Amino acid sequence: MFTAVDGSPFAGHFLDRLLHGLLLRHFPESVAKNYSWHSCRIWLATALLASGASRAQIQALCRWQTDESLNIYACLGAAQYSHLLSAAFNVRIDAARATTLAEAVPFICRHDVLAATGAARELAAADLDADVSPDDDADND
């Protein structure tokens, strides 16, 4: 990725010293010693995730061969984490699993549901248990 003017690659130890020197311009040694070129990849993965990049795009740009690397290094930031939790707490949930619904609420009959929704008066006149009129077979020749 980084090369000399003649196109030859820089040695790893040279690049490590270069990065460390750059970091020391802005941070004390106690902070600078914690970063490496790999830290840049982690930052990039996190920034790409925050910008909405797909997992495949992040993996390609960071040149990771496995999903495990992406799972480890692409981190949610505090703002993203907060936004996701806020959105979750503000959404209306109306889904239920039929297998656990009967255990979660007492048995409710149709009349209870109609009364609770205010639809009882509207449907009181309708006999929902009445037989439906037979098909007139209009669709058959």
Tens of pLDDT, residue by residue over 57-66, are 998 888 888 8
The three-state secondary structure class of 127 is: coil
39 vs 127, residue with greater confidence? 39
| Mean pLDDT to the nearest integer, 5-19 | 88
Q: Is it the case that residue 1 has pLDDT exceeding 80?
A: no
Alpha-carbon distances of 87 from 51, 53, 55, 57, 70, rounded to whole Å: 17, 20, 22, 25, 24
Range of the domain at 53: 12-89
The pLDDT value recorded for residue 57 is 92
d(CA 104, CA 11): 64
| Assigned domain for 120 exists | no
Alpha-carbon distances of 9 from 4, 24, 34, rounded to whole Å: 6, 24, 24
| Assigned domain for 47 exists | yes
DSSP string, 60-74: HHTT-SSHHHHHHH-
Question: What are 85-126's pLDDT values in tens digits?
Answer: 888 888 887 776 666 666 666 666 667 766 777 665 665 555
Domain count, the chain: 1
Mean pLDDT lowest for which of 23-32, 46-55, 83-92? 83-92
DSSP annotation of 101: H
| Assigned domain for 20 exists | yes
d(CA 103, CA 98): 9
137 vs 96, residue with greater confidence? 96
The three-state secondary structure class of 84 is: helix
pLDDT confidence bin for 23, thresholds 50/70/90:
very high
129 vs 88, residue with greater confidence? 88
| Assigned domain for 60 exists | yes
- Asked if 77 contacts 50 with a C-beta cutoff of 8 angstroms, the reply is yes
59-66, long-range: CB < 8 A, 24+ apart:
none
| Assigned domain for 23 exists | yes
| Assigned domain for 106 exists | no
The pLDDT value recorded for residue 17 is 92
